[in-house]
């Protein structure tokens, strides 16, 4: 039975490419325009916005990347926390961070307002870089060097949570990033308090 | 009507020819789907009670193991077995036709079952603690990968048989004109399935060879690229199948119509054209690809698949509205909604599926799939928050609604526990909504997904989440418990009906029967002069509001919510460190 009005369960009349009604045309046009806005926002943000996952990306041997990280850590080491070196590179430096089960190496100490090139890679499995409490997330992958230009905007004591499943100890994989401000104060008050607390324990 | 030359029976309610060879294939696939759902739902309860940090039920090892079990049983087994049932149904019953080569159909089913068995064994025995994504260099037992390969080969064969069934129906002229829209949607899903399963073959075969030591390594980035060509594109199978089920339930429950075949069918074509690009959604903050590649792919080349969903998001409710108006429910803007059969679980499931998929799943998905916004979403709880609103509240909910109609139509049983069945979609939808929102907000505070302990009690450095996170996780927990009760109710209803239900082969139209949805006992009929009313509703004088003013208001609200949520996220992003 082929009526003009039919449901999606009925075969469609032989000639079904009828022109759409006005209301549908209007909705399709609005939806299309919105899709173009959605699309345009991304190139626009590359041009005007400050947060893009672009970076310089290249393949790298995991062992070689780790060796480079150790070299970097030795060069700029200023201290140690729980056996992991605290490393304070100068503004503008290339900074290296290696993820490995279940540790982020080393601890970075950066200056607020300074720009760095942060290289991230993994020695073994996929790991996830998740900067707490800012919620900045990147995939960290063995064999690939992901080098992002980063400029910390405010001082504080940050954490790196691993948010890619990397085995039974995944939830213990937490690293540390310290950001100091340029005015001689090494840490923001709240962050110093956290460290004081810990030292008191 | 039943001039059919093959063994069959005629459905008392719809007059459709139901081929005897197709029925058991539909049934076994549906039954296995429900069994998978049961395993997945029990796993879900354990997961919810572990992620709810205040409860923290499972030990670490079992949390990760059960997480893999849940992902596999829900996303792969439950959904795909159900889709196999849909393909057998759409390729035969909806065309009054017979299945192509049922023997091969049974063989494929056997392959899928063997594959399923291998995967279950590997996961439960702790031989595959790699979650369902199994990103190398994490390595599972070879039989895990082999199981998936067998399962995929079986599914691919069934898809091929579906196309063959279409050819048979066409040749034997079991229908006039073009295939119904619902079948067209199923065809779309099947085409996408072929593309998807080929990705699966390309990636799982080398990974299997690597696991037995024949290949030295599998590149982790290439794996993620191709695996998500399977993993995300297959979500478009689910979307296409779900939309097809929407059109079907709309027709069965309230006499919903197709406004315009051209518009709806073109939207399905857009799914096919742009779908394999969706892999990029998972790679937006990966090191392997540049911005141009990410932008073009994540947007399905300028959001053409999103456009398709926005079109269906209009045409489905509009078809429902028009169908109701053609039946005489013409009062006001929303009289058609108010006077709809809300006690029919097929109808309520349809509405919740459309609304939660659109408002929560769709909006969050497009937003977090934006190249830069993904920086504040990747691998956080926002991700499961999103897809529990799409594939669960959308697809699974629609499949549940369809089941209430399939039970009498195909299984010839009354729906058991009818009172519970009426409430089930409400329970499941409200639970899922809370779960999704709880997860989404927890993720906005940076709470990671796939993580056993966000109190970080065994970690080197302390992390203390914002106390608001406790509240979001409690909302997730309560919603999750409700949703699991909803899922278990559905399973109880389905199992009781199928195996112990009251047999019913024929019934009188016009008399309500407890246990049979109203759309079958009182099939919705349009007024006799339906074409006239239709023309009047479409008269130019009605202006832009056209025949479906209520729907126009609804999609307006939707667009507003979309715009607000989208730009709020850009604003949040702009507060972060400079990164580039
Ligand atoms: C019955 C109600 C359900 C509840 C309460 C529920 C709950 C959850 C929870 C708590 C997680 C873990 C999130 C995490 O810790 O990262 C999860 C993960 C997941 N769920 Fe569900 N879920 C349900 C139904 C479903 C259904 C029906 C599907 C698919 C059709 C599904 C697909 C998934 C997937 C794919 C994952 C991700 C697994 C992974 O990260 O490896 N869920 N679910
Ligand atoms: Cu890790
Ligand atoms: Cu991890």
Min distance A63 CA to chain B CA atoms (Å): 15
Q: What is the mean pLDDT of residues B116-129?
A: 95
Check whether B38 has a pLDDT greater than 60.
yes
Q: What does B396-413 look like in DSSP terms, one character per residue? A: IHHHHHHHHHHIIIII-B
Domain covering A56-200 in this structure, CATH number: 2.60.40.420
CB contact under 8 A, A134 and B534: no
Q: What is the CATH number of the domain that holds B563?
A: 1.20.210.10
Percent of chain B scored above 70 by pLDDT?
A: 99
Per the model's pLDDT, the better-predicted residue between B206 and B290 turns out to be: B206
Q: Are B410 and B18 in contact (CB under 8 A)?
A: yes
Written in H, E and C, the secondary structure of B229-271 is HHHCHHHHHHHHHHHHHHHHHHHHHHCCCCCCHHHHHHHHHHH
What is the pLDDT at residue B178? 85
The C-alpha R_g of chain B, in whole angstroms, comes to 24
Question: Does the C-beta of B47 come closer than 6 Å to ligand 1?
Answer: yes
Check whether B147 has a pLDDT greater than 50.
yes
Q: What is the mean pLDDT of residues B15-25?
A: 90
**Cα separation, B290 vs B272, whole angstroms:** 25
Q: How confident is the model at residue B302 (pLDDT cuts 50, 70, 90)?
A: low
Q: Tell me the pLDDT tens digit for each residue of A25-70.
A: 889 999 999 999 999 999 999 999 889 998 889 999 999 999 999 9
Check whether A20 has a pLDDT greater than 80.
no
**Cα separation, B393 vs B403, whole angstroms:** 15
Extract the tokens encoding B255.
Answer: 């006499």
Extract the tokens encoding B374.
Answer: 């993904």
What is the pLDDT at residue A190? 45
Q: Are B250 and B350 in contact (CB under 8 A)?
A: yes
**Cα separation, B510 vs B502, whole angstroms:** 20
**Residue of chain A with shortest Cα separation from B181:** A8
CB contact under 8 A, A51 and B304: no
Q: Tell me the pLDDT tens digit for each residue of B519-576.
A: 999 888 888 888 888 888 888 777 777 888 999 999 999 999 999 999 999 999 999 9
Q: What is the mean pLDDT of residues B314-337?
A: 91
Provide the b/e sequence for A13-33 (b: ≥16 CB within 10 Å).
eeebeeebbbbbeebbeebee
**Residue of chain A with shortest Cα separation from B282:** A139
CB contact under 8 A, B247 and A22: no
Q: Which of B543, B562, B577 sits opposite A152 (nearest CB)?
A: B577
What is the pLDDT at residue A193? 46
Query: Among B493, B446, B576, which residue's Cα sits nearest to residue A132?
Result: B446
Question: Does the C-beta of B51 come closer than 6 Å to ligand 1?
Answer: yes
- The number of residues in chain B equals 580
Which residues, 6+ apart, have CB-to-CB distance to B567 below 8 Å? none
**Cα separation, A143 vs A65, whole angstroms:** 9
Q: What is the mean pLDDT of residues B336-345?
A: 94
What is the pLDDT at residue A17? 67
Q: Are B286 and B224 in contact (CB under 8 A)?
A: yes
Q: Domain segments of chain A: what residues?
A: 1-51, 56-200
Extract the tokens encoding A141.
Answer: 């992958």
CA of B353 to the centre of ligand 2 (A): 36
**Cα separation, B26 vs B377, whole angstroms:** 39
**Cα separation, A154 vs A148, whole angstroms:** 18
Q: Are B401 and B249 in contact (CB under 8 A)?
A: yes
Question: Does the C-beta of B251 come closer than 6 Å to ligand 1?
Answer: no
Check whether A81 has a pLDDT greater than 50.
yes
**Cα separation, B280 vs A89, whole angstroms:** 34
**Cα separation, B556 vs A104, whole angstroms:** 47
Q: What are residue A94's DSSP bridge partners? A: A117
Q: Is residue B95 part of a domain?
A: yes
For B45-181, strand residue ranges (E) read none
**Bond preceding residue B137 cis, omega within 30 of 0:** yes
What is the pLDDT at residue B532? 84
Residues of chain B positioned with their CB less than 8 A from the CB of A82: 460-461
**Cα separation, B240 vs A79, whole angstroms:** 57
**Cα separation, B403 vs B31, whole angstroms:** 11
CB contact under 8 A, B221 and A53: no
When the pLDDT of each residue in chain B is averaged and rounded to a whole number, the result is 91
Q: Is residue B231 part of a domain?
A: yes
What global pTM score does this model have?
0.92
| Strand bridging mode A174-180 / A156-162 | antiparallel
What is the pLDDT at residue B199? 86
Q: How far is CA A114 from CA A109, A151, B375, in A?
A: 11, 6, 21
CB contact under 8 A, B463 and A132: yes
Extract the tokens encoding B541.
Answer: 């004088």
Three-class secondary structure of residue B477 per DSSP: helix
Question: Does the C-beta of B449 come closer than 6 Å to ligand 1?
Answer: yes
Q: Is residue B1 part of a domain?
A: no
Question: Does the C-beta of B74 come closer than 6 Å to ligand 1?
Answer: yes
How many domains is chain B built from?
1
Instruction: Identify the sign of the CA torsion B100, B104, B108, B109.
Output: positive
Residues of chain A positioned with their CB less than 8 A from the CB of B326: 5
User: How far, rounded to the nearest angstrom, does the alpha carbon of residue B423 sit from its chain's CA centroid?
Assistant: 20
**Bond preceding residue B473 cis, omega within 30 of 0:** no
Domain ranges, residue B13: 8-506+544-574
Which residue minimizes the CA distance to atom 3 of ligand 1?
B44
Query: Among B483, B463, B473, B467, which residue's Cα sits nearest to residue B441?
Result: B473
What is the pLDDT at residue B328? 86
Q: Supply φ then ψ for residue B331, to 5 degrees.
A: -70, 130
What is the pLDDT at residue B280? 84
Provide the b/e sequence for B50-62 (b: ≥16 CB within 10 Å).
bbbbeebebebee
Of the listed ranges A10-14, A148-152, B388-392, B442-446, the one predicted with least confidence = A10-14
Which residues, 6+ apart, have CB-to-CB distance to B24 below 8 Å? none
A 132-151 residues with CB < 8 A to B:
132-146, 148-151
Which residues, 6+ apart, have CB-to-CB distance to B564 below 8 Å? none
**Cα separation, B319 vs B336, whole angstroms:** 11
Of the listed ranges A168-177, B283-292, B439-448, the one predicted with least confidence = B283-292
What is the pLDDT at residue A185? 54
Q: What is the mean pLDDT of residues A107-130?
A: 95
What is the pLDDT at residue A191? 47
Q: What is the mean pLDDT of residues B87-114?
A: 93
């Amino acid at each position: 039975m082929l009526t003009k009005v039919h449901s999606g369960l009925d075969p469609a009349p032989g000639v079904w490419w009828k022109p759409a009604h006005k209301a549908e045309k209007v909705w399709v046009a609005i939806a299309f325009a919105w899709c173009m806005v959605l699309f345009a926002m991304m190139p626009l943000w590359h041009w005007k916005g400050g947060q893009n996952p672009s970076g310089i990306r290249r393949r790298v041997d995991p062992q070689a990347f780790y060796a480079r990280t150790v070299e970097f850590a030795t060069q700029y080491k200023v201290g140690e926390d729980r056996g992991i070196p605290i490393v304070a590179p100068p503004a503008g430096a290339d900074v290296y961070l290696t993820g490995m089960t279940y540790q982020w190496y080393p601890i970075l100490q950066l200056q607020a307002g300074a720009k760095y090139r942060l290289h991230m890679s993994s020695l073994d499995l996929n790991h996830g870089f998740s900067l707490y409490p800012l919620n900045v997330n990147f995939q960290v992958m063995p064999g690939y060097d992901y080098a992002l230009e980063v400029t910390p905007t405010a001082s504080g004591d940050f954490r790196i949570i691993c948010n890619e499943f990397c085995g039974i100890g995944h939830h213990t994989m937490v690293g540390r990033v310290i950001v100091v401000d340029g005015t001689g104060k090494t840490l923001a008050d709240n962050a110093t308090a956290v460290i004081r607390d810990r030292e008191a324990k | 009507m039943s001039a059919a030359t093959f063994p069959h029976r005629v459905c008392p309610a719809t007059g459709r020819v139901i081929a005897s060879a197709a029925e058991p294939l539909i049934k076994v696939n549906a039954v296995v789907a429900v069994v998978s759902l049961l395993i997945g739902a029990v796993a879900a309860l354990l997961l919810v009670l572990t992620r709810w940090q205040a409860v923290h039920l499972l030990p670490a090892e079992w949390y990760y193991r059960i997480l893999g079990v849940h992902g596999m049983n829900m996303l792969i087994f439950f959904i795909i077995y159900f889709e196999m049932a849909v393909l057998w149904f759409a390729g035969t019953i909806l065309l009054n036709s017979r299945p192509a080569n049922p023997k091969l159909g049974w063989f494929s089913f056997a392959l899928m079952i063997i594959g399923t068995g291998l995967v279950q064994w590997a996961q439960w025995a702790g031989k595959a603690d790699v979650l369902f994504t199994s990103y190398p260099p994490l390595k599972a037992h070879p039989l895990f990968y082999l199981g998936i390969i067998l399962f995929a080969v079986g599914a691919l064969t069934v898809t091929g048989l579906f196309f063959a069934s279409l050819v048979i129906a066409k040749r034997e002229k079991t229908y006039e004109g073009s295939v119904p829209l619902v079948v067209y949607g199923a065809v779309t899903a099947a085409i996408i399935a072929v593309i998807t399963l080929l990705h699966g073959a390309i990636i799982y075969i080398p990974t299997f060879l690597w696991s037995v030591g024949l290949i030295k390594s599998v590149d982790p980035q290439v794996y993620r690229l191709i695996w998500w060509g399977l993993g995300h594109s297959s979500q478009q199978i689910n979307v296409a199948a779900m939309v097809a089920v929407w059109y079907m339930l709309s027709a069965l429950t309230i006499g919903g119509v197709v406004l315009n075949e051209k518009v709806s069918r073109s939207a399905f074509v857009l799914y096919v054209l742009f779908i394999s690009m969706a892999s990029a959604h998972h790679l937006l903050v990966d090191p392997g690809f540049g911005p141009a590649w990410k932008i073009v792919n994540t947007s399905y080349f300028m959001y053409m698949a999103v456009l398709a969903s926005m079109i269906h998001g209009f045409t489905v409710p509009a078809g429902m509205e028009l169908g109701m108006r053609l039946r005489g429910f013409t009062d006001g803007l929303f009289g058609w909604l108010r006077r709809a059969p809300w006690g029919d679980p097929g109808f309520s499931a349809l509405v919740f599926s459309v609304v939660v998929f659109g408002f929560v799943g769709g909006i969050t998905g497009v937003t977090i799939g934006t190249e830069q916004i993904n920086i504040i979403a990747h691998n956080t709880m926002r991700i499961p928050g999103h897809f529990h609103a799409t594939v669960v509240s959308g697809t699974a909910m629609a499949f549940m609604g369809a089941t209430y109609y399939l039970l009498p139509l195909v299984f010839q049983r009354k729906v058991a526990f009818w009172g519970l069945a009426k409430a089930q979609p409400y329970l499941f939808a409200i639970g899922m909504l809370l779960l999704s929102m709880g997860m989404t907000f927890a993720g906005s505070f940076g709470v990671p997904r796939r993580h056993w302990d966000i109190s970080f009690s065994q970690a080197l450095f302390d992390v203390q989440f914002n106390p608001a996170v406790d509240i979001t996780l409690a909302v997730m927990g309560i919603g999750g418990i409700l949703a699991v009760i909803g899922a278990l109710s559905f399973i109880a209803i389905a199992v009781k009906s199928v195996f112990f239900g009251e047999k019913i082969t024929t019934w009188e139209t016009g008399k309500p029967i407890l246990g049979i949805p109203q759309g079958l006992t009182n099939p919705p009929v349009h007024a006799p002069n339906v074409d006239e009313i239709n023309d009047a509703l479409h008269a130019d004088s009605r202006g832009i509001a056209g025949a479906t003013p209520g729907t126009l208001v609804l999609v307006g609200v939707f667009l507003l919510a979309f715009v607000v949520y989208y730009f709020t996220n850009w604003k949040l992003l702009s507060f972060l460190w400079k990164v580039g």
